[in-house]
Amino acid sequence: MLPLEKPQQVHRALAWQGEIPTYNIYTFGIAGERFFRELKEHGRFLGTRCPACHLLYVPPRIYCERCFASLEEWVEVPGRGTVFTFTLAYYDLDGRRLEHPDILALVRLEGAHGGVLHRLGEVEPGQVAIGMPVEAVLKPPQERRGSILDILYFRPTRR
């Protein structure tokens, strides 16, 4: 039977109260597996280069998104690059206001196409600019787990 009146409590019409057990296994994929293993074990960044259009993908891909060539050339990339774009987050994932905003940036590593999305550190929000040179700060080797969080943050490059 269809409801004839506008629901007064919308959540009753749209929500089923209860629990559904869900289980997920997320894999990094072929290229991501190698990328994170190299970061964990050697603290190095890897990308893949397209033999046809010469784009260097970081994070790596196994197929070129432009010409669909198979990518089999693995290249070490320095853990430094530039801020491609950035934003400030004033609230955490639970909606609590942060005392200091997180600076989230897409960092394009040197010579690479694409970028690594991560936090910036050792810098104030007002000092960040697009094109700013930055470098990765990694966790100590014994604390790395093979995830993006093996990078603590990117900071302005020290020269």
The residue ranges that bind Zn ion (CB under 5 A) are: 50, 52-53, 64, 66-67, 69
- What is the nearest approach in angstroms of Zn ion to the Cβ of residue 15? 46
- What is the nearest approach in angstroms of Zn ion to the Cβ of residue 135? 28
Closer residue to Zn ion in complex, CB, 53/88: 53
Closer residue to Zn ion in complex, CB, 65/143: 65
Cα 8 to the center of its chain, rounded Å: 42
Closest CA to 57 of 39, 43, 42, 70: 70
CB-nearest residue to Zn ion: 64
Closest CA to 56 of 137, 133, 111: 111
- What is the nearest approach in angstroms of Zn ion to the Cβ of residue 108? 18
- What is the nearest approach in angstroms of Zn ion to the Cβ of residue 37? 24
DSSP string, 59-90: S--SB-TTT--B--EEEEE-SEEEEEEEEEEE
Closer residue to Zn ion in complex, CB, 49/108: 49
Closer residue to Zn ion in complex, CB, 61/118: 61
Residue 21: cis peptide before it, omega within 30 degrees of 0: no
